[in-house]
Every structure is written in structure tokens, then in C-alpha cells.
Amino acid sequence: DTGVSQDPRHKITKRGQNVTFRCDPISEHNRLYWYRQTLGQGPEFLTYFQNEAQLEKSRLLSDRFSAERPKGSFSTLEIQRTEQGDSAMYLCASSPPFWATNEKLFFGSGTQLSVL
């Protein structure tokens, strides 16, 4: 158990529907990341939060994607008007502050999205 929780584990939706995923990082981690992974590929960066501030956002994150971390704790990733190309594993990761001696990333188990 890595300590990073993601919900749901699986989501099946119809094209055009909106979906929202949740990530609860390890409590003392102020940095939170969203990645997307398709079969046979390494994860691709989507966005990064430090506390509640969204500091980086990939150009992969189109206008249909929005992420929030309102209180600097849990984060949500919403996809509006889903498309079949959005089908992927959505991974959340967290890490402690940069001054921590161990800056390893801790990943959640991911949310597998299937858009029909």
C-alpha cells in the first residue's frame, strides 16, 4: 500500500459523458501529479500541484480536462465530453516537499477509464 488512494479504480462511460476522478495523496506530501498511461507506453505528464496551486499543465491537457486541488489535500481530475481517445489509466502521484531528504514519488493504483 503506497498510501496514495485513487477513486474509482475503474470507470466505464459513454462517449460525451463527463467523468471525475479523485486522488488522496499521502498527507504530508505537498506535491501532487496527474499522469496518463496507455497500454504499452510509459506514463505521460498531465499536471502538477504544489499545495493548492496548479503550477504546471501539459499541452496534452485540452480544454476538456480540468484539475483542482482546492485545499491542498485531495485532488480531482475532470474530463468533460469524453472521447474514445481518453481511454487510459489515469495515475496520481505525490511527493514530499523538495527539501525533504527523500523526494521519491508515490503512485496510486490508478483509475482505468474506458470510453465506449
Partner 1 sequence: KNEVEQSPQNLTAQEGEFITINCSYSVGISALHWLQQHPGGGIVSLFMLSSGKKKHGRLIATINIQEKHSSLHITASHPRDSAVYICAVGRETSGSRLTFGEGTQLTVNP
Residues that bind partner 1 (CB under 8 A): 2, 31, 33, 35, 37, 40-45, 48, 50, 55-56, 58, 89, 91, 93, 102-107, 109-110, 112
| Closer residue to partner 1 in complex, CB, 13/109 | 109
Name the residue among 105, 77, 111, 113 with its Cα closest to residue 3. Answer: 105
Q: At 82, is the secondary structure helix, strand, or coil?
A: coil
Smallest gap from residue 92 Cβ to partner 1 (A): 10
Q: Which residues contact 39 (CB under 8 A, 6 or more apart)?
A: none
Instruction: Please state, in angstroms and rounded to a whole number, the distance separating the CA atoms of residues 116 and 109.
Output: 22
Evaluate the omega torsion of the peptide bond into residue 70 and state whether it is cis, within 30 degrees of 0: no
Smallest gap from residue 6 Cβ to partner 1 (A): 9
Smallest gap from residue 11 Cβ to partner 1 (A): 13
| Closer residue to partner 1 in complex, CB, 80/112 | 112
| Closer residue to partner 1 in complex, CB, 80/107 | 107
Residue the block writes with cell 496534452: 60
| Closer residue to partner 1 in complex, CB, 3/20 | 3
